[in-house]
Amino acid sequence: MQDTATSKIHKLEVTDDTLTSRGGLAFFVKYLESVGIVGLLLHKFAGIKKSIKGVSVRNLFLQVLYFFFDGTSRHLSYFDELQREEGYQAVVEMPAKQMASSHAMKRFFRAFAIFHAGSFRWVLKELFLWRLRREKMRVVMLTLDTMVMDNDEALQREGCDPTYKKVKGFQPLQLIWEGKIVDAIFRRGKRHSNYGHDVE
């Protein structure tokens, strides 16, 4: 089964035609190809699916990244709408048979567990090192800080603790470079910046 598009976008020009309201995604598609993030993800997660049937792991990752970047909807059911939209398929260069449904995405997300966090951190580290090599930085300034995630409104609050901001939630520890998170540890809400050995 073919899991890549038969026609690629090679040139972007001005036109009076409207392919889709999400035409800007074409730039993001090309950006993802150039940075090689999918190759890094596949290096760690190629075997995450139990079956080779259906949408390939590569295309599931791509569609998740496009979904996050697009931001039109935060609901998984939106994948069902995208699956039917030919203009969207053309912009993201995805064959119709490889467009994921909301059910396929739910199964994909359920395949991940907390022990996969180390693999995601490895991907972030590799992208960070790639960027540093590309920028040829003489000095690298990093910030280590926590971010309170408010979970007060959630119906299920497993793992939430009161935080210093008087909300129940989580408090991940993040390593930040030029406004971008380059590493993170997901933690309970009561864990402050210097908690235990997290900083090490």
Average pLDDT over residues 73-96: 91
pLDDT of residue 192: 64
Interior/surface letters 146-157, b for 16+ CB within 10 angstroms, e for the rest = beeeebeeeeee
Q: How large a percentage of the chain has pLDDT more than 90?
A: 38
Average pLDDT over residues 50-71: 92
- Round the average pLDDT of the chain to a whole number and report it: 83
Average pLDDT over residues 143-156: 71
pLDDT of residue 154: 61
SS3 34: helix
Above 80 in pLDDT, residue 30?
yes
Q: What whole-number distance in Å separates Cα of residue 145 and Cα of residue 193? A: 6
Confidence label for 19 from pLDDT (cuts 50, 70 and 90): low
Above 90 in pLDDT, residue 146?
no
For residue 57, the one-letter residue type is: V
Q: What whole-number distance in Å separates Cα of residue 65 and Cα of residue 114? A: 20
Average pLDDT over residues 30-49: 91
DSSP 20: -
Residue partners of 45: CB distance under 8 A and separation at least 6: 57, 61, 116, 119
Quickly count helices (H) and strands (E) in the chain: 7, 6
Which of 4-13, 106-115, 154-163 tops mean pLDDT? 106-115
Residue with more model confidence, 49 or 190: 49
Above 90 in pLDDT, residue 99?
yes
pLDDT of residue 118: 87
For the entire predicted model, the pTM comes to 0.74
pLDDT of residue 40: 94
pLDDT of residue 161: 64
Above 70 in pLDDT, residue 162?
no
Average pLDDT over residues 40-65: 92
Confidence label for 42 from pLDDT (cuts 50, 70 and 90): very high
Q: How large a percentage of the chain has pLDDT more than 70?
A: 76
